[in-house]
Structure formats: structure tokens, C-alpha cells
Amino acid sequence: MQCNVCEVRCEIDKHSMGRCGTYVSTGNTVIQYPDMGYLGALPVSIEAVPLLHFYPSGKFLQVFSTGCNFQCPGCMARMPASSRPSVQQASLRPSKIVEKALQQECLGVISAINDPVANYYLFRDLAVQAQEKSLLVGCSTNCYFTSETLEEFGQLVNFVNVGIKGYSDRSYRNCGVNSSAPVFRNISRLFDMGVHVETSVVYSKGNEDDVIKVAEAVSEISSNIPLHVMRFLPFGYAPIELEPSVGDAEKICSGLRRYLDFIYLFNSPGTELLNTYCPECGSLLIEREFHRPFGSRLVKPWVSHTCSCGGSIPVQGKASTESFNETGFMDSYSISQDFSMVHAVLTCLGVRDDYKLMDVWGEDKLMDVWSKVSDSKTLTQIHNMIRQPYSYLEFIRFIAEIANMPEKGEELVSFIHKRLKIVQNLSAGKSSYNVYYCMGSPLFALNAGRMENNLVTFSGGVSINKQLQKEGKLGVNVSPSFINKHNPGVIFVSGFLSRPLDEFYALCQKYGIHADAVTQHRVYEIPPSWDFGSPRWILGLLYIADKLHPGKLGVDLRKEADDFYLQFYGMRFKEARPNRSFHRPSSGIWPHTQTLYNDLKIEIPKQGSTKNFGNEIIQPFNILPASKIKLKG
């Protein structure tokens, strides 16, 4: 039987569940995997999806499941997207979701993280039941539906955020499908059907022309459709060289205003391009701040959608007078991040090939870990464990116990514990420096209770971030006067989302920041994932301690990095090509799998081409994932 949910049109039979891995054949028709339900349902602000022109600050119940019809390199949600359904998912059926949404006084339900294309029949049941209770229904989707499915889908949803991979067919082939045409066709049709549509596109170095063409194509449908530019964050195999700086992203966004009235920039802490400006006169109408990757939050409620010049902003629905802010790890991005941090520990325990994670470790065990870390109580427990150096050791033991790898867990704990003692002895003398920890922009301060600031205090530094009363998901905007008043002698820029130091110093000059750390050039960019999200934070701690106690640490940082990478990743530090992944130390292929690719001819399905890679490292942006590659000879 052919599945007609999306344009991939997989053949489903007793031997195949299709690309999504969530559909089965009855012999006469294709249905959802029996007893499939949702993995989680958590309240979020609508800006977290993100949607910025639909019921501003509204509280929605976000749901997610497993499976995806795309195979995008660098996907942040690869674990839920690649996993297969399990009977453990049956607990959250559509009726339960609707009941929960009503109990928590949500305006509606949103499907996100994995694509509803993979759970279409489940999503359809949810949408019908939600509409019966007057709940709004929407989703974040790649919108690769067939025309026949889209006609039904358009009747089920009130709003969508369509993630556009690019304008060219090549950008879609990189995700394992053939063409971009169905996506633009479907956006146009949904808009004509009266669905509220917002769009997103990823901007990476080298695809500037593609992003511009996306804006042009969307403008031909309507110049009022918001376009969210997602500054590319290299995860998985993606090299960090593909990541544009925040400054580069801001420049391209400014140019896109020629085509569309509302351009927003995400993944860029401190940017002013999350704000809404009047397209008529350019006045600032509503201010937002970075809340996390892919998300934002309103600084104050958006009450009026009309500018003083008379221009009106197309916003659908009534704005909430109070913003709903998710707490702890109770939201979609945080769940994806949470699983990434679990994956980071598993990697250090020996599960090193993320593309073959389920083959190496076993689907059942993966789902077992998933089920045990996806409930709200456990997520809160994890959130607390990863905030302090010593409690992080309990996080490692927790994951190692679930994975039945306690000896490997203790090996990692022992390595970290030994280095903690070194820093603890050093910090007994305290540091003379006030320390400021920011992310991306000098005006975006990391929250006081985050691991990064706790690494500073553990090293003997005085964290000025601890003076902040306001909290956000990752951090909050601060004024130049806050920084100047506390005069940090050292500034650290987060290893998760950073900005080139030349841009950073230029912004300090622009904002009038003249703290000692700036004037004396003691601003340091932490290596990616060396301060949060991965056990590599122990190397970040050593790096921080060395800067706060110059010449006193007594250890060779390069040797420490080599020892860690060799023991837990099977490679030397100098062999690593860092990116933003928590679980991967390198954007290249693991050394222990590299020989598999040497001197092989590789056939790309549906493209019929072969290439002898010799001893080159494969660039996965030009091929399908390893599971779809046929090796010849």
C-alpha cells in the first residue's frame, strides 16, 4: 500500500513502516501504528513555537510524539524524530490531551518537536476532539503534505509555522526528499484557506541567495506573512564553519525587509530583530527578548496592534494581558535539550555513533530511558542535578543506572571528581575578579542559577550575574549600566551561543561598556559545550579557573583535553572539529568509524551517482544519512 500523507509516498507493507516509521498497512489501507499516543504534553507560550502574530502571549498545550518524514542533518530533535513508536506512548491519547488542555486553561493545542506529518492520523483525531471543545489547533511542520491530505489538514488547523528548508530543490534533497515545490504550494493553499501562516527558514553560511529567494517566494503569497530567520546552529555532523555570526544574520535580515514586512531573527541572543516594527514608519511597536533557541518572549503584553502613524499590524486573536512563561524544563525545546544532555552522557559511556544509536544500543533500551526521563517530575530532577558540579555527578550515575552501564558511569564520575578537587583547592584562595557571563551579546546575561555561573563561583570568582533578580529560559537582557556598575574584570561568553570577539568588542563600544574586562581585553569565548550540556564542562571549569587564577592552576589544559577526549571519545582533542552538539565532540566522522568510509564507492539512493571518497571525510550535507546509503564492493 502507498502512504499518501506526504509527497514521499512510501510503500507500506508487513515489512515496512515507511520513512516515518509510524504507519502500518492493514492490507487495504494505511493506518497509524496501533495504540500510538503522544510522549508528552506541556504548556508553552505561543512565542515558543514560535508564532509571533497569533494570540500573543497565549498559553497553549504543546504535544510531541516520534517519527519524521525528513532526515535533516544537524536536527536538534533527532532522538524523538528518529525513534519508533512504543506501547509506552499509549498513555497520552487525544482525549487525554484535550482534557489536560482544558484543565490547564490553555487556548489550544500545538504539535511540535517531531513533525505531525509522521503522526497525521493521531493528530487528526486530536484536532477533531480539540475543536469540539472550542480549542485552537496548530502545529510546527515541514508541510510536505500531498495535495489531497492538505485539503483535510487545512480544515483541522487554525495556525501553522512552516519550516522551510530553502528555496532550491538541493536544500530539500539534503533532507532526503526531492523538491521544495510542494511546500510553497501548500503554504499558498493554507493561506487561501484562511489558516494563520508563519514561516521559518534556516540561514547558514553560503545559502544567502536561497534565503533571499525564500523571502521572495513567500512575498508572492503575501507580504504580511512573517518570516522567522533561524541562524543556523551546527549540530550533529554539521561543521561550525557553516554557522553565521549574529552580525552576519542581522545584515541579511535587514535586506529581507525589501520583500516582507515582518522579518524576525532567532538563535541570536541580544538581537533587536526579535522586535516588531511598524512597516509604515519603522517605529518600535513591541519588544521581545531571546528566550531560548527558536523561541522568544514579550517584554510586556502586546495590547494594541495599531501604530501612532495609523498603520495596523496583522495579528490574529486577542493578546493575553499577562505573559505565560514556562518554568524549569517544562517546554518543547527544553525536552529536546534534555534528551541531548542524556545523549551526551551516553556518548561518554561508549555509545558514540549517533546515527546508529538505536542500532548499537537497542530500540527497547532507548525507549526505556526515554520513558523514564520524559515525565515532569524526572525532568525537574534532571534540571536540578545539572546546575551544580557535584550534583552533575549524580546525573551521570542516574543515566548510567538506567542504561545498565554503572561501571562506565563511575569511570566518568572518577575523572571529573579528581579535577573538581584540583579546582576546589585552588579556589580556596578566591579570585580577585568580578566575573560576568553572557551569551552571544554583551547585553544578554545568563541566569544567576545556571551551571555556567556556578562554575565561576566554584572557581573562586565573584559572579555579578548572581545580582540579577529577573529570570528567563537561558538568560535576560541587561543594560550597559548594570555591567559598568559591577565592573567585571573578566567576561566569559557562553560556549553554546557565542559571537566572534571582534563583533563582541564592537558592540561593547557601541553600548558604552567600559568595564575592566573590556578595556584590558579579558573577554574569553568558552569552547563549544565546555560549560553546559555535556560532561565536557569539566574542561570548561579548568579553563575558567585558569583565567581567574593566572599561572596557578598547575595543570596542562591541552593535556587534560587530550586525556578526556581519548578516554571518552576515542580521539585526540586536536582531531576534534567542534560544533554546537552536546553529545558530539566533533563535526566529522568518529575515528573508529572513519575507516568504514575509506576507499568505498557510495551510491546515493534516487540519485544514481557514485563517488570515490578515498580518505576524505564525508560531508553529510551532500548525502543521505548513513542508514540510507548502500555500500558497493
Contact 77, 113 (CB under 8 A): yes
Does 428 score more than 60 pLDDT? yes
Which residues, other chains included, contact 374 with Cβ-Cβ below 8 Å and sequence gap of 6+? 39, 40, 335
CA gap 335, 437 in Å, rounded? 24
| pLDDT category of residue 371 using cuts at 50, 70 and 90 | low
Percent of the chain scored above 70 by pLDDT? 83
Q: What are phi and psi of 469, to 5 degrees?
A: -95, -35
Give residue-wise pLDDT tens across range 23-39. 998 888 999 988 888 88
Lowest mean pLDDT among 338-352, 354-368, 446-460: 354-368
What is the mean predicted confidence (pLDDT) over 564-585? Answer: 88
pLDDT tens-digit profile of 516-538? 999 999 999 999 889 989 999 99
∠ Cα 619 264 500 (to 5°): 55
Domains of the chain by start residue, with CATH: 23-298 (3.20.20.70), 332-427 (no CATH), 434-575 (3.40.50.1980), 591-632 (no CATH)
d(CA 263, CA 259): 9
Mean pLDDT value of segment 113-124:
92
Give per-residue pLDDT as tens, 471-493.
767 888 999 999 999 999 999 99
* Residues 358, 354: Cα–Cα separation, whole Å: 8
How far apart CA 275 and CA 456 sit, in angstroms, is 32
Within 8 A by CB and 6+ apart from 619, the residues are: none
Contacts of 568 (CB under 8 A, 6+ apart): 347, 348, 412, 415, 535
Q: Which of 111-115, 233-237, 551-555 has the lowest mean pLDDT?
A: 233-237
**pLDDT value at position 324?**
73
* 521's grid cell: 581585553
**Alpha-helical runs (H) found in 241-354:** 246-256, 332-348
Mean pLDDT to the nearest integer, 542-560: 95
- For the segment 459-470, the average pLDDT, to the nearest whole number, is 92
Neighbours of 323 (CB within 10 A): 18
pLDDT at 568 exceeding the cut of 80: yes
Is 365's pLDDT higher than 60?
no
pLDDT in tens, 200-218: 999 999 999 999 999 999 9
Residue 584 has pLDDT above 90, yes or no: no
Q: For residue range 494-508, what is the model confidence (pLDDT) as tens digits?
A: 988 888 999 999 999
C-alpha cell at 392: 552533575
What residues pair up with 24 in beta bridges, in sequence order?
31
What is the share, in percent, of the chain residues with pLDDT greater than 90? 59
Strands in 192-350 per DSSP E: 196-203, 227-231, 263-266, 276-277, 284-286, 288-292, 295-298
CA dist 108 and 578 (Å) reads: 40
Distance between CA 437 and CA 463 in Å, rounded?
8
